[in-house]
Amino acid sequence: MRDLADTAPIVQFRGIDKTYDGDVNILEKLDLDIQQGEFVTLLGPSGSGKSTLLMILAGFEEVTGGEVLLNGERLNNVPPHKRNMGVVFQSYALFPHMSVRQNVAYPLKQRGVPKAEIDARAEKALDMIHMKEFGERMPTQLSGGQQQRVALARAIVYQPEVILMDEPLGALDKKLREKMQIEIKHLHEQLGTTIVFVTHDQSEALTMSDRIAVFNDGKILQIGPPSEIYEAPNCSFVANFIGETNNFSGQVTAQSGDACTLRMANGAEISGQNILGARVGDAACMAVRPEHVKLDLEQVCSHALKAKVTGVIYHGDHIRYELDVPGARDVTARSNAHMQDALPEGQEVYIHWDMDKGRVLDPLSGAEGAA
Amino acid sequence: MSITAEFESDSGRAPEVSLKSKLRRAERQRQLKGLGLVAPLLTFLLVIFVLPIVAILFFAVSSPEVGEALPRTAEAIKSWDGKDLPDEATYRALAEDLAEGYEAKTVAGAGTRLNYQASGFRSLIMRTARKADEMQAPFKAAMIDRDERWGEIQYWRELQRAARPLTPLYVLQVLDLKQDETGAIVSVPENRAIYLDYLTRSLWISASVTVLCLLIGYPIAYFAAHTTSNWGYLVLGAVLLPFWISVLVRTAAWMVVLQREGMLNDLLIGIGLIGEPLQLLFNRFAVYIAMIHVLLPFLVMPLYNNMRTIPQLHLKAAGSLGATPFWAFWTVYFPQSLPGLSAGALLVFILALGYYITPALVGGPGDQMLSFLVTQFALEIGNWGMAAAAAGLLLVATLVSYAVFRLCLGARGFM
Amino acid sequence: MANNSTRTAQERIASVLLKAFVGMTCFFLIFPILAIIPISFSSGSFLSYPMPGFSLQWYEAVLQPFPWLETLWNSLFIAICATVLATTLGTLAAYGLTVSRFPGRGLVIAIIISPLIVPIIVVALGVYFFFARVGLLGTFTGLIMAHTALGAPFVVITVLATLQGFDMQLVRASSSLGAKPMATFRQVTFPLIAPGIATGALFAFITSFDEVVVALFVASPAQFTLPRQMFAGLRDQLDPSIVAMSTLLILFTSLILIVMELLRRRTQRIMGGR
């Protein structure tokens, strides 16, 4: 992550409210600052409001309340064509009646750039995305990945202050998606432009972003660098939405300093970090990443839980155990052991984890439990 | 079903048959099957539809009447050089033909046909035929004695032309042209040049109606295609309902609304705009109103279907790329709506070109189009040659318009 | 037209103008049709408002056997026969055009749809010449055949479109499950394309039922159709019985439209809402 602390934010959302019908809030009192040159990802399930926020920034949606600032100036009533932002849409929105080159030249034409310069800049943009030979093709003659590149070129060719990407890789297959993630990342490094990227794919967010803002129900639950979001989720939703998590629900029975103890439904007790300052008697849920779950044939420590291996799945670089743990559901563990050393199905084991790897968060709501 | 069936039947064959020839045979069988299914309709249309239209083109240039009614004359005059009056043998042939034709009552048709060629010819033929059986040799003198016009070389020239099995007469006439005495093609005098007006009027009315439909239909289709409310369906219904209602019912409705005592006049008088009722029917205004009402759906439907496939997102994208709303519409949306626009315009223009009912009912004498000319010649006058020529002209105008639309605008038309 | 985007004042004005224009045009389209309905119940014999009183006399006049009911039956008989013929021939042809791409397919399609392009008056005149030769002038057979030729292209177009949306995998699946070709057509293909066929048939029916010009040329008084009779009436004198008949036809057409809409929904449901 870059050091951005002392520069003024390029984009500021202040107290954004958005509703379509006056009843349901799509966005609620939302604040977000985006720094110059930053790659910020808005991550969340569909309907969480992340795309709406992007569309507000682009000028396609009006806010119900609050204000949007670009370089400190209010954007609220500025129409899209005067905002100077590059938008890459999920469906690319390439104009089908124009060639690749005409598509890329389009924004320059709107800005009255001289013809010769248009040609040169379009050519350079096409070169940057390795599409130089395809200038005369029509969009329909391109593959999905190629269309994606053209859409990118069209959004960067006029050097907008901010580039907005709305699930730009959603329509591509997995391999291509991963390739494009890296290319976009390189492009960001080359151009140094601020990028606001919307996705519901957590691995995409983790690989590409300087910062991730996790959305749910119109609010930003947590914002921070990818490693922080993954390793130190501040609520059950974030813990479950990003990466895999084992949830152990229970009631807080003891609390001391940073740590606390949770009693599960079946009476077993486990300990972990008290992230949200839960007090004795509170319902809570402990989140533990599968790679932090250790398996032993004997009880090596007092707070280990008894479990039984119900499934062994080979993943190549690791093995995944599905475990039946009394008092908890769908517990899994990751092990880097070789297959020949794997535990057999039906094996009785004890599971435990380091104290700081168990994070005691808010209790699960129904939906999150299923996620 | 076909694929599986054929593969099964082929799999039992001798193994020496190469894969390629198997494929060819399978493909041939499929083609035969397809052709077999299409054949009944194709044959039907060839007989009921294509053949008659070819017949029209033939009738527009055919001239059987004189040859049939006066066969000996037609034969005798074929080799006449047209310099001096024909020889005695030709006069004799005509006298005999007229005598027989008068008996058989076939001579009147030939007279009518000859009258197209030169006015007065019919009475000349009938007058001569009545006394033809009394004529004696020398026939030349006898006939000139009966009517001295038989001594004028001009009438014989016209007779020679009309006796040929094919004639350019009708086609020329419908284009306001004629053959002069020497056979050269010249324009008819201005006061008799009345038919080409029907063609230019047809083209003009069709073009105007098409442009008006475009101006009215584009916003309608745009609204129906892109509104998020249920109003879109209502608007579409409003466009489609008239489409399904009988043209006669709609025309009757406009006649009720536009007549002297009609609602529009009542309304205009009621709000004090006019003192006396206006003549709103039987003029070009009524023709335009009624034709637009009938043809608007043909423009809106293809346009609407086209517009529905244009993502509104493209306008947003153009906006984000710096285009003003109008410019985004003009550079991004409008070009994408052109296929539907040209398809609709093609439909409207071609349908308008062949319009008969509406102008016949709500137009005045000066608002009639080519179709009117066809019915007039066919049903009122009985000049089938001219009817065929006018129909042929209309057909050619239609096909040329169709080709122009397709080549210049890339309109895809019906399919 | 998302009404939530950031819009300039010009855009708002444009939107209001568009709506006003659309409203006016819809009024122009619907108004004359609705305006004549009340007049058909007039007790007077003039077609103008205000009406002197309410009466069903014009409906009585229209429901007399001669000329109205007789021409109505003629129209229905001719339209139904022409529809059956056009639908059968058209469906077969559309199926044939779908299953194989034989040489000259483009030309065949051009011939099949040409009745839609060729002006009706040209068809009428040609048919007149032809029927005069073969003795079909002034016969029901002749009129039915001419109307079949006019209606068949609609059937071909709608059924072709339906077949394009039809998943040919289903045919393979059916034969893989042991159905013979005919059984596959009867039990799988036909039920799925039936709504398309029905739409085409309705087009063919309306085409025949509304046709004047060919009837003008080839029908003798015994075959006068309803539109032919109305045309004669309108040329002669606009009287309220025509308006009464028009009202009945508007009702009839609306009924057909409702049937079509129901069919369309059914197709959409089966074909997965395309």
Task: Report how far apart, in Å, the C-alpha atoms of A76 and of each of A62, A63, A164, B179, B251 are.
Answer: 7, 8, 17, 78, 53
Chain-centroid distance of CA B113 in Å reads 24
Q: Which residues of C touch B360 (CB under 8 A)?
A: 235
Phi/psi zone of residue A37: left (φ > 0), alpha (ψ -120 to 50 degrees), beta?
left
Cis-peptide, bond into residue C50, ω within 30° of zero: yes
Please indicate whether, in this complex, the C-beta atoms of C29 and B219 are within 8 angstroms of each other: no
Which residue is it, tokens 């849409």? A89
Specify the CATH number for the domain of residue C250: 1.10.3720.10
The confidence band for B243, taking pLDDT boundaries of 50, 70 and 90, is confident
Domain, as residue range, for C168: 66-271
Q: Which residues of C touch B35 (CB under 8 A)?
A: 96, 100, 102
Q: What is the pTM of this model?
A: 0.82
**Which residues make beta-bridge pairs with A85?**
A162
**Token reading at A162:** 């901010």
Q: How far apart are CA B82 and CA B160, in angstroms?
A: 9
Among chain B residues, the shortest Cα distance to A91 is held by B313
8 Å CB contact between B237 and B297: no
Band of pLDDT at residue B5, cut at 50, 70 and 90: very low
Show residues of chain C in contact with B414, CB under 8 Å. Answer: 113, 116-117, 153, 157
In Å, what is the CA distance from A67 to each residue of A164, B186, B316, B407, C150?
18, 80, 21, 53, 63
Tokens of B276: 């006396």
**Cβ distance of C181 and B44 shorter than 8 Å:** no
* Residue at C192 is within a domain: yes
Contacts of C185 in chain B (CB under 8 A): 1
Give me the residue spans of the domains in chain B.
Answer: 2-52, 65-164, 196-409
Domain boundaries, chain A: 9-236, 237-370
What is the pLDDT of chain C when averaged over all its residues? 86
DSSP letter (8 states) at residue A357 = G
pLDDT of B16 reads: 58
Identify the residue with better confidence: B17 or C232: C232
CA pair distance C259, C234, nearest whole angstrom: 30
pLDDT at C243 over 60: yes
Task: For chain C, say whether A20 makes contact (Cβ under 8 Å).
Answer: yes
pLDDT band for position C66 (50/70/90)? confident
Chain A and chain B share a number of CB contacts under 8 A equal to: 67
Contact C4 A20 (CB under 8 A): yes
B228 and chain C in contact, CB less than 8 A? yes
Asked if the model's pLDDT at residue C177 lies above 90, the reply is no
- Residues in Cβ contact with A20 at an 8 Å cutoff, skipping those fewer than 6 apart: A26, C4
More confident residue, B44 or A82: B44
In DSSP notation, C185-253 reads: IIIIIHHHHHHHHHHHHHHHHHHHHT--HHHHHH--GGG--HHHHHHHHHHH---HHHHHHHHHHHHHH
* In the predicted structure, residue B287 carries a pLDDT above the cut 70: yes
Residue C235 neighbours by CB distance under 10 Å:
10
Pairing of β B177-179 and β B185-187: antiparallel
CATH number of A237-370: 2.40.50.140
pLDDT tens readout for residues B156-208: 988 888 888 899 999 999 999 988 877 788 888 888 888 999 999 999 999 99
Alpha-helical regions (H) of chain C: 9-39, 57-62, 70-99, 105-117, 120-134, 140-164, 169-176, 181-184, 190-209, 213-218, 226-236, 240-271
Residue pointed to by tokens 């010819």: B121
Q: Which residue has the higher pLDDT, C176 or B255?
A: B255
pLDDT of residue B214: 95
pLDDT band at B17; cut points 50, 70, 90 = low
Most confident of the ranges B80-94, B135-149, B253-267, C77-91: C77-91
Residue C54 located in a structural domain:
no
**Dist. CA C78–CA C147, nearest whole Å:** 8
CB atoms C102 and B371 under 8 Å: no
Whether the predicted pLDDT of B9 surpasses 70: no
In A, minimum Cα distance to B329 occurs at A95
Q: Is the pLDDT of residue C178 over 80?
A: no
Which CATH number is B196-409's, of 3.30.565.10, 1.10.3720.10, 3.40.50.410, 2.40.50.140? 1.10.3720.10
Do C92 and B222 count as a contact with CB atoms less than 8 A apart?
Answer: no
Neighbours of chain C (3+ CB pairs under 8 A): A, B
Output the pLDDT for position B411. Answer: 55
Residues of C whose CB is below 8 A from A59: 5-6
H/E segment holding residue A16? strand A9-19
Name the least confident of A282-286, A316-320, B14-18, B293-297: B14-18
Is C4 inside a domain boundary? no
Residue among C1, C5, C6, C12 with most chain A CBs within 10 A, to mutate: C6
CB A184 within 8 A of CB A39: no
Nearest by CB: C4 against A61, A77, A78: A61
- Cross-chain residue pair B266–C234, CB shorter than 8 Å: no
Which pair of tokens denotes residue B318?
A: 């153009």
**Cβ B99 vs Cβ B129: under 8 Å:** yes
- pLDDT for A371 equals 36
Nearest by CB: C21 against B34, B52, B219: B219
In the predicted model, is pLDDT for residue C183 greater than 90?
no
B234-to-B221, B307, C22, C27 alpha-carbon distances in Å: 12, 17, 11, 12
Identify all chain C residues contacting B2, using CB atoms and an 8 Å cutoff: 99-100, 181
pLDDT greater than 80 at residue B142? yes
In our burial notation (b when 16+ CB lie closer than 10 A, e otherwise), range C179-209 reads beeeebbeebbeebbbbbbbbbbbbbbbbbb
A9-236 placed in CATH 1.10.10.10:
no
B181 compared with C20, residue with greater pLDDT: C20
Flag whether pLDDT at C174 surpasses 80.
no
Which of C2, C4, C6 shows the shortest C-beta gap to A77?
A: C6
pLDDT of residue C200: 92
A85-88 sheet: strands from edge to edge: A85-88, A162-166, A194-199, A39-43, A211-216, A219-224
- Cβ of B56 within 8 Å of Cβ of C119? The answer is no
Res B204: pLDDT: 96
Give the residue-averaged pLDDT of B237-256. 88
Given a contact cutoff of 8 angstroms between Cβ atoms, the answer to whether A361 and A285 are in contact is yes
Parts of chain A with a pLDDT under 70? 1-7, 366-371
User: Percentage of chain B with pLDDT > 90?
Assistant: 40
pLDDT (tens digit, 9 = 90+) per residue, C115-143?
988 999 999 999 999 999 999 999 999 99
Comparing A18-27, B210-219, B404-413, which segment has the lowest mean pLDDT?
A: B404-413
Q: What is the pLDDT of residues A249-287, one digit of tens each?
A: 999 998 888 889 999 988 888 888 988 888 888 899 999
Cβ C22–B219 below 8 Å, yes or no?
yes
* First-last CA distance in chain A: 30
Chain B residues touching residue A59 (CB < 8 angstroms): 319-320
Indicate if the pLDDT at residue B259 is higher than 70.
Answer: yes
pLDDT tier at C185, thresholds 50, 70, 90: confident
All residues of chain C having their beta carbon less than 8 Å from the beta carbon of residue A77 are 6
Instruction: Report A:34-73 residues touching C (Cβ under 8 A).
Output: 59-62
Q: Which residue out of A20, A62, A67, A77 would a mutagenesis test of the C interface target, given it has the greatest number of C Cβ atoms within 10 Å?
A: A62
- Chains touching A (3+ CB pairs < 8 Å): B, C
- Chain-chain contact of B322 with A59 (C-beta, under 8 angstroms): no
β-pairing verdict for A269-274 and B177-179: unpaired
pLDDT of residue B11: 47
Give how many domains chain C has, as a whole number: 1
In DSSP terms, A263 is beta-bridged to: A251, A269
**Is the complex ipTM higher than 0.90?**
no
Q: How far apart are CA C252 and CA C172, in angstroms?
A: 42
Position A57, amino acid: L
Helix (H) or strand (E) holding B57: helix B51-59
In DSSP terms, A162 is beta-bridged to A85, A194
| Contact: B38, C93; criterion CB under 8 Å | yes
Closest alpha carbon to A157 in A199, A187, A189: A187
A152 in contact with B at a CB cutoff of 8 Å?
no
